Structure 1
């Protein structure tokens, strides 16, 4: 089996000029982990927003956000019951 280049040509390292070299970036945080972090932060922001909104705007206790009766009352108001 013959190759295109001689052994001497193959042994010489081919160097590209700087203008032709491409930058390869290695991701430190994989995409799936970025999405997971984003979803967790989104949930935490929603929880913090409901707590602040319920306690500051609604004049209630921030801990009442986690009670089932509070959400049942909100859904009853939304459904017109």
Structure 2
């Protein structure tokens, strides 16, 4: 009997705590706004800028930075022409210089 009463009291206390938490959430204006938005749209919060699109943007920015860095390095630091960076002969010459036997 004692165990059953304690279980019943535990359940009542748990329900009381849950009701208090719900009351706190209702008082919070942000939670009310979120509930209203969900009720209007019928959907939960969605990302405006999806993760897959973020990854594509990052990859594109990395390629742009690589190209700009190569142009600046070859034309400003190396005193070459900026357009020569995009020629195959230039990169063949650079790889020959790097892999040259000593």
Q: Please confirm whether the aligned pair reaches a TM-score higher than 0.5, indicating the same fold.
A: yes
Q: 1:52 aligns with which of 72, 77, 92?
A: 72
Distance 2:51 2:26 in 1: 31
Residue equivalent to 1:16: 26
TM superposition shift of 1:66: 0.3
TM superposition shift of 1:16: 3.5
Structure 2 residue runs of 5 or longer lacking an equivalent are 1-22, 35-43
* Corresponding residue pairs, total: 68
Structure 1 residue runs of 5 or longer lacking an equivalent are 1-13
**TM-score, length of structure 2 as denominator length:** 0.57
Q: Does 1:43 align with 2:53?
A: no
Distance 1:74 1:54 in 2: 11
**TM-score, length of structure 1 as denominator length:** 0.70
Distance 2:66 2:85 in 1: 11
More helix by share: 2
Which runs of at least 4 in structure 1 moved beyond 6 Å after TM superposition?
none
Higher relative contact order (CA 8 A, sep 6+): 1
Distance 2:57 2:73 in 1: 24
Residue equivalent to 2:95: 75
